[in-house]
Amino acid sequence: MKEAIIKKSGKIRRRGGKLAYQGELWGMAALPVLWFIIFSYLPMFGITIAFKNYNYRKGIFGSEWVGLKNFEFFLKSNDMLIVVRNTILMNALFIASLTICALLVAIFMYNIRSRKLVKALQTSYITPNFVSYVMVAYVVYAVLNPQYGIANQLLNKLGIGGVDWYSQPKYWPIILTIVHVWKAVGMRSVMYYAALMGVDETLFEAAEIDGANKVQITYHILIPEILSIIVIMAIMDIGGIFRGDFGLFYLVTQDSPLLYSVTDVVDTYVYRTLMESNNVSLSTAIGFIQSVVGCIMVLVTNFASKKIDGDLGLI
């Protein structure tokens, strides 16, 4: 009888300790969950504006329902194919270049033995991430100014001749890619570097004994060991492939109409539509399409990665 009472009391204590531990975790998660509910989920009710002819005076509830007309306007517009093409192709270029550059930077830092030097490099790489695109646009303009820009001055000294950069669309996929990578490579490389720090060093010792060089170690050990984090970050990036960074495509390009053929993306198109026609419903409809496409892309990419290797993917 005593043994049964002792066992029962032990189970109660363990259950009470588990509940207390879970209570602490729920307490820590309460504020973030509340933040997401208030600022991410409750505003989703505004999606109904996409199906209405929104009127400021009547409000969301009083505005007239128009069904899918706002979606039809965008899908049938002459600019739709151009902005969708630019958005997808530019983001695909960004994803590929950022992944490669961030991985190279992370591997470079991993092979540096001086921790002080690594910290200094990390600080220099991360700093651009906190610079606003307003400042970045001024820097780019100082370099590409047709008359006084650093690039044209250098080209003139070389005898090549200056270029009117803001009227030549062919250069801007490369320019925007360089700016995007410069700004984002620091944070991404830190994530890869943190993953590399968890790699078992005995693998390197065994590879060196077998006569592997640095390139072989990188290709056969380092990259495969962090492939899961690379795929996860790629999936998250692909989820936003239908969205363009407004600051990058609007401010850095100085919103030059001559560059629209390669720099006009969905977000800049929505902004101009809203400013010119004041059509909130159309802007909401396009934003809704972006969210749906992003969700589908995440699911498809995750499914494909799981098919290739069961250990890859988000879920």
Q: What tens digit of pLDDT does each residue of 120-129 get? A: 888 888 888 8
What distance in Å separates the CA atoms of residue 47 and residue 267, rounded to the nearest whole number? 17
* Same domain for 108 and 36: no
Q: What is the pTM of this model?
A: 0.81
Residues 33 and 87 both lie in one domain? no
- 3-state helix, strand, coil split of the chain in percent (to 5) is 80, 0, 20
Q: Would you say the C-alpha torsion 256, 260, 261, 262 has a positive or negative sign? A: positive
**Do 10 and 134 share a domain, yes or no?**
no
154 and 293 belong to one structural domain:
yes
Structural domain of residue 205, as residue ranges? Answer: 77-308
Is 23 in the same domain as 151? no
Residue 69 included in any domain:
no
In a domain, 314, yes or no: no
- Same domain membership, residue 105 and residue 27: no
pLDDT (tens digit per residue) in 164-187: 899 999 999 999 999 999 999 989
**Predicted pLDDT of residue 18:** 57
pLDDT of residue 89: 93
6 and 148 assigned to the same domain: no
Mark whether 36 and 81 lie in a shared domain.
no
Is 55 inside any structural domain?
no
Contact 246, 270 (CB under 8 A): no
Query: Does 61 map to a domain?
Result: no
Shared domain for 114 and 159, answered yes or no, is yes
What's the structural domain count of the chain?
2
Look at residue 85 and tell me if it is in a domain: yes
Is 44 domain-assigned?
yes
In a domain, 57, yes or no: no
The reply to whether 162 falls in a domain is yes
